[in-house]
Chain A
Amino acid sequence: MNSMALKSFVGLRQVSPEKTHLTGQTKPITFRHRKVKIVAGKYSPLVSGRNLRVAVIGGGPAGGSAAETLAKGGIETFLIERKLDNCKPCGGAIPLCMVGEFDLPLDIIDRRVTKMKMISPSNVAVDIGQTLKPHEYIGMVRREVLDEYLRNRAKENGATIMNGLFLKMDIPKDKTSPYVLHYSSYDEKTGGVGEKRTLEVDAVIGADGANSRVAKSINAGDYEYAIAFQERIKIPDDKMVYYENLAEMYVGDDVSPDFYGWVFPKCDHVAVGTGTVTHKGDIKKFQVATRNRAKDKIQGGKIIRVEAHPIPEHPRPRRLSGRVALVGDAAGYVTKCSGEGIYFAAKSGRMCAEAIVEGSENGKKMVNEDDLRKYLKKWDQTYWPTYKVLDVLQKVFYRSNPAREAFVEMCADEYVQKMTFDSYLYKTVSPGNPLEDLKLAVNTIGSLVRANALRREMDKLNV
């Protein structure tokens, strides 16, 4: 089904609006920009006496991988992060391809999940993952470990890691003067107080998460966000055996009206949580319901940590302005449906950094907005279909209990599992078998119709 959907979605992106806008644009503006273009294209000034300086705000997967790529590309890189030991509330699942692409050592992966259980509102449990090959798994990491590893690698490559809190930045009037970042620095000398400092850089990558200050300072606009609530529960060893390499997803109106509840295995405990966009005030109730649904399996557990975090629902209206670009959560790159963000954050960080390295010819030249635009263009081209498919899936299957029942029924199908895992683990979409696709479509519609028919009868019972 994925592939079928994808084929029609590719290219839907926004070819036409671009054109209509061009023709609809008033003349003076086009003129002004043409002038700018010439300046930028022909005389992109060299930076003399030094290399290009770029600041990366935020030291998560996005910031870490961006800083690494920048430093490797010969750019003077500064990474500003306040909490270097931050252990962010996060599911912590990474797809298999990330291990290869980012060259991660296997020992930072706490657990290898090879089985997923989807549990429907009427408690039909479906095992997903029988189609996985022996070497395939979903890695579970702790964010404090992963983030630190990526930052350290950036440091080894020559990036400067600074413990500081980014406050604001002054945006220059012209195309070549530096951005002035204001931050309070925390190091051995200043201690816990923090010392106000400034830093001049030529470009900025904002990787500072959902409440991004960089985004605020370039007026990037807001996005809708879901709130995710998670409790880390230490459960008795005999119960932990069950979660050895298994993750559970619960769906249903009781656990979340528009997302799912989960039990993910962590290094020595499980994370039980749920998320929602539409009923944020009820999150605690959903959490209780999630715990209740998993009750037998986590009984006797002790809650060792409670955490909550906003998850962006869609990209910000503006992800780029001048020589400032947003990546990761700051830009809003979290998928719907699965709520996955680590891989996309790291990948966007790297892609953005690559665009800067390329545009500056390894730090020799000044970059401009067009160089950064390339990152945006490439990103949307590569990943928009993925995001769109997941959005459609969420809209179709998370909308009501009958739809969720149908979703779980659909997931019992081996072909679906194979397709989902392939696209999740490798982030590529392999073309499916048209006959299988058709069969799947018919079956899914059948499930949906049946479940909805039952729902209508249930409503009649009410009256």
Chain B
Amino acid sequence: MLISMASFSPPTRFSTTPSSHSKPHLSHKPFISLSPINRLFLLSTLKASASESGIGTSGSAAASVEVEPQVEQSAPEPPPPVPEKNDSAAGNNGSVAAVAEEVTLVSNFKDPRWVGGTWDLKQFQKNGETDWDAVIDAEVRRRKWLEDNPESSSNESPVVFDTSLIPWWAWIKRFHLPEAELLNGRAAMIGFFMAYLVDGLTGVGLVDQMSNFFCKTLLFIAVAGVLLIRKNEDLDNLKKLLEETTFYDKQWQATWQDENSSISKIE
């Protein structure tokens, strides 16, 4: 414990100036989708909140010192084109260096139809009915936006929208039906071919196959297969999933393999 404390304590971590300096850049791989403006924004938050905490507290203050020049470097760059909703955020970022304390971070997600933490369904009316497709589209866009601009949570304006508000048939209509044709067709073809094959090999007719347990199992496998493997990469994904589920078991069992090699059964 002590050792780990030592090796992770702030001073050692921050003393390697060059590496910690370059880190934020290297580290952006998983966040490739972030636009440059966001990176700027992240850094400025760090700086903002670190300076809140008072200089010289500890590691985080040191970190902000490292980061500062970067903010200045990137600030003069002309802001890249951003979606309209982002405008106010960009404006904030420009002035962030000056007003570190009261950065009211980023405009929250704004949309006239987003009222009181949920989609105002009245505004989605079309021919007297709610246009659920439009609600789904709006929510997709909101989530996309949030992914790029994570928002502070707040107790005053909670988010109450829940995807289960959208009725199940709207989901089916939107996401399943376009694919259903393909799947049904595929299932029918495989089913026919299998029935043919079984008949050809065993001489059991189509009607008799229905009362046969083996054939029913085959049918089940075929349907499950059609549902699970829709594209070629699905096969790989399933394989990976299987490995993933057994990985932890192996890690736990490692110590028992050892036992088997060093001690044999007592009885």
Contact = CB atoms under 8 A, between A and B. Distances in A.
Interface residues of B, number: 81
Interface string A317-341: 1111000000001000000100000
Nearest to A242: B155
Given A314-B248, A315-B251, A317-B254, A447 B1 contact: no
- A253, A282, A395, A447 — most chain B CB neighbours (10 Å): A282
Interface in A278-325: 279, 281-282, 284-285, 288-289, 291-297, 299-310, 314-320
Nearest to B142: A122
Contacts of A223: 251
B2 to A, nearest CB: 5
Contact of B1 (A22, A209, A302): A209
Given A18-B256, A296-B152, A306-B59, A211 B142 contact: no
- Is chain B's binding surface mostly helix, strand, loop or mixed? helix
B163 A451 contact: yes
B264 A34 contact: yes
B248 A454 contact: no
B238 interface: no
A308 B248 contact: no
Given A17-B256, A454-B139, A211 B7 contact: yes
B53 A302 contact: yes
A87 to B, nearest CB: 9
Contact of B255 (A121, A320, A446, A458): A320
B33 interface: yes
A461 to B, nearest CB: 6
A86 B263 contact: no
Contact of B171 (A13, A33, A41, A453): A453
B253 A17 contact: yes
A13 B253 contact: yes
Contacts of A83: 1-2, 5
Interface residues of A, number: 108
B164 A388 contact: no
Interface stretch (B44-52, B123-131, B206-214, B215-223): B44-52
B225 interface: no
A89 B257 CA distance: 34
A83 to B, nearest CB: 5
A345 B248 CA distance: 19
Interface stretch (B24-32, B72-80, B87-95, B188-196): B24-32
Interface in B33-60: 33, 42, 45-46, 49-50, 52-54, 57-60
29 contacts: A14-B249, A14-B252, A17-B257, A21-B257, A83-B2, A121-B147, A122-B142, A123-B159, A165-B2, A211-B7, A233-B53, A282-B27, A288-B45, A291-B45, A292-B150, A293-B152, A297-B155, A302-B54, A303-B58, A303-B60, A306-B58, A308-B9, A308-B13, A317-B258, A318-B254, A373-B259, A449-B171, A454-B140, A458-B140
Interface of B: 1-5, 7-10, 13, 23-24, 26-27, 30-31, 33, 42, 45-46, 49-50, 52-54, 57-61, 63, 105, 136-137, 139-144, 146-147, 150-156, 158-164, 166, 168, 171, 174-175, 244-245, 248-249, 251-266
Given A309-B4, A318-B254, A369-B262, 15 more contacts: A22-B264, A83-B2, A125-B158, A233-B53, A255-B150, A281-B27, A284-B24, A292-B45, A295-B152, A300-B52, A302-B54, A315-B255, A370-B263, A457-B136, A462-B144
